[in-house]
Every structure is written in structure tokens, then in C-alpha cells.
Amino acid sequence: MYQEDDEKTFPFKGLLLKVVLVVLFIFVLMMLFPTKGYLTNYVDKKLKTEDNSNFNNNLLSMATVASGYYTSSRLPKNTGDKETMTLGDMLNKKMLVTLKDGNGNACSSKKSYVEVTKGEDEYTMKVNLDCGGESDYIVSHMALDGTSFPSTSTARCEFVKNLDGTWTYGPWSSWSTTKIEENSTTQVETSTKKIKSGVKNATKKEVETTPSTKFITDGKTVQYVCPSSYDNAGVYQNPTTCKKTTTVYTTVPNYKTVTYYRSRSKTPGEGNTDTKWSSCDDKDLINQGYNPTGNRE
């Protein structure tokens, strides 16, 4: 009787073990090969992230171009006034190339726009983008005494700081009348000269002199006379010099002062510099003595 119970128990245990193994096998397969729903959600999430990035880049491109365009001469003049420019206007002015969504479709040239408003104490710039079925906007602010809106560009520039004040100089350029501005990497010398730039009309006064004419009247009175054509025409009791002024027209050389410029490049002494990369308008670095090299990324 005990032998029969053992025979019934062992087959049941074997079946249970097989079921557990099958469940574990299925679980491992699910871990190695995600379900269709999982893959779909993953791809959707990935595409959505890429779409957002593309939308943001397009929005920032519009804002960057607009911040450079709306300088003082193009800002609204009176409080409450607005200046509007559509994406289509930007494309026509060759300020941008066509902006596209993640699927390659062009963003709306009419619904996408930039609107600048003058308030009582500041300017505001609204940049609205309608692209790929999504619409959103950003707003930037500028004080009334500003000359341009702050840039939204994400470009990075190289800055260098001369640590010990030593410089290496290149050769001087030729003298030129083209103005050159001195900066952290350029040394400038100037020279001024007066050069002949043609002739101009001029007048000068010439004075003719002659002794007065002596006359004796009544056989005894002596008088001296200057003719009427002279400046001091008249009768005098004593000898007088008669003077006649004549205006003479002539030409004289015309001169102008010209400034000449020459420059030479300068670089910090080797091994005595510190280089940093940051946003191109990083005022903190400039205040610390760092100067932009002109290199961008």
C-alpha cells in the first residue's frame, strides 16, 4: 500500500517541476524579446523626444535671427505699438532657410511669427512656432534703453586669458587708410598726415600805394590830394600816402588730414595662458580678463 502511494506522488512532482520550468522559460523570453506593445511605446517615446528637440531648435532659430534683426531702428516707437514678422517674411528676406518638422514637412510660414511690443518700461518679443501639428511660443524681454534683444543662440566660443602679460607679436601690416580696431589679439598703430586733395578758389587783397599830389592855391596855400579812386581819397594839409585796395581772385591747394592704420597680431606667450569654452556673450569670463579668440563651435 505504501508503494502505490509513492508511485502516485512522484509523477505529480515531476509534472509540477515541468510547469515551473515552462513558466521560467516564458519569463526569460519576455525579458529577452519585449512585447510589441513595449516596442511601440519605446519608439513613440523616442520619436516624441526627437520631435521636441527639433521643434525647440526651430523655435530657437527664429528667436536668434529675430533678436539680431530687431535693433533700435526697427523697434516700435510708441507705447502699445507692435511690429510683426511672419516666418514667411523671414524666408523672403533670406534671414532663414525653410524650417521643417521631424518628418520633413515645412513649418507654417503664416502661423509662425515674431511679434515685438513696446510697453511702458520694456520691450517684449514673442516668438511663436507652428510646426508638425504643434504650436508653442517663447517670450524675451529688453529694457527700453537696449539696442537689441538678448541672443538665444547656443553657440560656444573660445576664450583665452594671458596669465603673465607676455605677448608674441607678428609682423606689422602695410599702412592703409582702412580703419582697424584694436582688440585683445590685434595691436594697432596710427599715423596722421596732411595731403593735397586738389585746389580751391580763394581771394587775396593787394594794396597799391602812391604819394598824395601837392597843390598850391591862392598862390600860397599848400594842399595834398588823394584821387577819388583811392580808399583815402580827399584833401590833406600834410603829405599823405594814398592807398588803393584791390581784390585778386586765385586758386590755392586744398589739404585734408588722413589717418593711416597698421596692425599686427599678438598671441599670449606660450605656456602662460588659460583657455575656456563658454557661451559667446559670457560677461563673467570677460570680466575675469578672458578674451574671445574668434574660434566657435
Query: Residues 173, 292: one domain?
Result: yes
Inside any domain, residue 6 = no
Instruction: Return the pLDDT at 261.
Output: 94
In terms of domains, do 108 and 172 share one? Answer: no
Burial of 282 (0-12, 13-18, 19+ CB in 10 A): middle
On whether residue 40 sits in a domain, the answer given is no
In this predicted structure, what is the pLDDT of residue 24? 73
Cell of 254: 586744398
Beta bridge partners of 250: 202
**Same domain? 175 vs 147:** no
Inside any domain, residue 29: no
Q: Provide the number of structural domains found in the chain.
A: 2
Separation of alpha carbons 41 and 214, rounded Å? 127
Long-range pairs, 265-268, Cβ under 8 A, ≥24: 265/169, 265/170, 265/185, 265/186, 265/187, 266/167, 266/168, 266/169, 266/170, 266/185, 266/186, 266/187, 267/167, 267/168, 267/185, 268/160, 268/161, 268/162, 268/163, 268/166, 268/167, 268/168
> Which residue in the block uniquely carries the three cell numbers 566660443?
157
Phi, psi at 120, each rounded to 5°: -70, -30
Whole-angstrom distance, CA of residue 152 vs CA of residue 280: 11
Structural domain including 70 reads 50-154
- 194: three-class secondary structure by DSSP: strand
With beta carbons less than 8 A apart as the criterion, state whether 230 and 242 touch: yes
Residue 10 in domain: no
Closest by CA to 52, choosing from 153, 131, 155, is 131
Radius of gyration, alpha carbons of the chain: 45
Domain boundary among 103, 131, 154: 154
Contact in structure between 75 and 83 (CB atoms under 8 Å): yes
- Does residue 137 sit in helix, strand or coil? strand
One domain, residues 182 and 295? yes
Q: Based on the domain organization, do 247 and 224 belong to the same domain?
A: yes
Q: What are the counts of helices (DSSP H) followed by strands (DSSP E) for the chain?
A: 4, 13
The verdict on 219 and 294 lying in the same domain is yes
Q: How far apart are CA 251 and CA 202, in angstroms?
A: 5
Residue 45 domain-assigned?
no
pLDDT at 51: 54
The pair phi, psi for residue 152, each rounded to 5°, is -105, 10
Q: Is residue 136 assigned to a domain?
A: yes
Whether 148 and 199 map to the same domain: the answer is no
Contact assessment for residue 148 and residue 135, using Cβ atoms and an 8 Å cutoff:
no
Q: Say whether both 199 and 278 belong to one domain.
A: yes
Are 195 and 255 contacting, i.e. CB atoms less than 8 angstroms apart? yes
CB 128, CB 112: distance < 8 Å: yes
Do the domain assignments include residue 240? yes
Under a CB-based contact definition with an 8 Å cutoff, are residues 149 and 142 in contact?
Answer: yes
Residue 94 counted as domain residue: yes
125 φ, ψ to 5°? -125, 115
Cell 581771394 belongs to which residue? 203
Same domain, 181 and 289: yes
Looking at the fold, whether 175 and 273 belong to one and the same domain comes out as yes
pLDDT tens track, the chain, 297 positions:
444 444 445 556 666 676 677 767 676 666 655 554 544 454 444 444 445 667 888 888 888 888 888 887 888 989 999 999 999 999 998 888 888 888 889 999 999 999 999 988 888 889 999 998 889 988 888 778 766 676 666 566 778 887 877 778 889 999 999 999 888 778 999 999 998 888 888 998 999 999 999 888 777 788 999 999 999 999 998 999 999 999 999 888 888 999 999 999 887 766 677 887 776 666 677 777 777 777 766
Q: Looking at the structure, tell me whether residues 102 and 197 fall in a common domain.
A: no
Contact 189, 176 (CB under 8 A): no
Of the candidates 121, 154, 187, which is a domain's last residue?
154
* Domain match, 148 and 176 both: no
Last residue of a domain, which of 123, 154, 185?
154
